[in-house]
Amino acid sequence: MDRCGQLCVGIDPHPGLLSAWGLNDDAAGLERFSLTVLEAVGEQAAALKPQVALFERHGSRGLAVLERILAEAAAASVLTIADAKRGDIGSTMAAYADAWLRDGSALAADAVTLSPYLGYESLRPALELALATGRGVFVLALTSNPEGASVQHAGGADSVARRITVAAAADNRAAAGLGSVGLVVGATVGQAIAGLGLDLAAVNGPLLAPGLGAQGATGADLAATFGAAYPNVLATSSRDILKAGPEPAALRAATARTLAGLAG
Query: What pLDDT was estimated at residue 217?
Result: 82
**Domain for residue 258, yes or no?**
yes
**Domain for residue 31, yes or no?**
yes
Query: What pLDDT was estimated at residue 12?
Result: 97
DSSP symbols for 5-63: -SEEEEE---HHHHHHTT--SSHHHHHHHHHHHHHHHTTTSSEEEEBHHHHHTTHHHHH
pLDDT bin (cut points 50, 70, 90) of residue 212 is confident
Q: By percentage, how much of the chain surpasses pLDDT 70? A: 99
Query: What pLDDT was estimated at residue 221?
Result: 86
**Domain for residue 197, yes or no?**
no
Query: What pLDDT was estimated at residue 179?
Result: 97
Residue 264 scores a pLDDT above 60: no
**Domain for residue 154, yes or no?**
no
Query: What pLDDT was estimated at residue 158?
Result: 95
**Domain for residue 194, yes or no?**
no
Owning domain of residue 64: 7-145+162-188+206-263
- Sign for the pseudo-dihedral over CA of 107, 112, 117, 122: positive
41-69 pLDDT per residue, tens:
999 999 999 999 999 999 999 999 999 99
**Domain for residue 42, yes or no?**
yes
Number of domains in the chain: 1
Mean pLDDT score across all residues of the chain: 96
CATH of the domain at 124: 3.20.20.70
Element (H, E) at 84: strand 81-86
d(CA 158, CA 103): 37
**Looking at 85, 239, 243, 252, which residue is catalytic?**
85
Query: What pLDDT was estimated at residue 218?
Result: 85
Residue 14 scores a pLDDT above 80: yes
89-120 pLDDT per residue, tens:
999 999 999 999 999 999 999 999 999 999 99
Query: What pLDDT was estimated at residue 214?
Result: 66
Query: What pLDDT was estimated at residue 230?
Result: 95
pTM: 0.97
Residue 258 scores a pLDDT above 90: yes
Residue of 242, 232, 159, 210 lying closest to 151 (CA atoms):
159
**Domain for residue 199, yes or no?**
no
For the segment 223-229, the average pLDDT, to the nearest whole number, is 93
Residue 145 scores a pLDDT above 70: yes
Residue of 183, 190, 180 lying closest to 163 (CA atoms):
183
3-class SS string, 136-165: EEEEEEECCCHHHHHHHCCCHHHCHHHHHH
49 is catalytic: no
Query: What pLDDT was estimated at residue 106?
Result: 97
d(CA 51, CA 73): 15
SS3 244: coil
Residue 176 scores a pLDDT above 60: yes
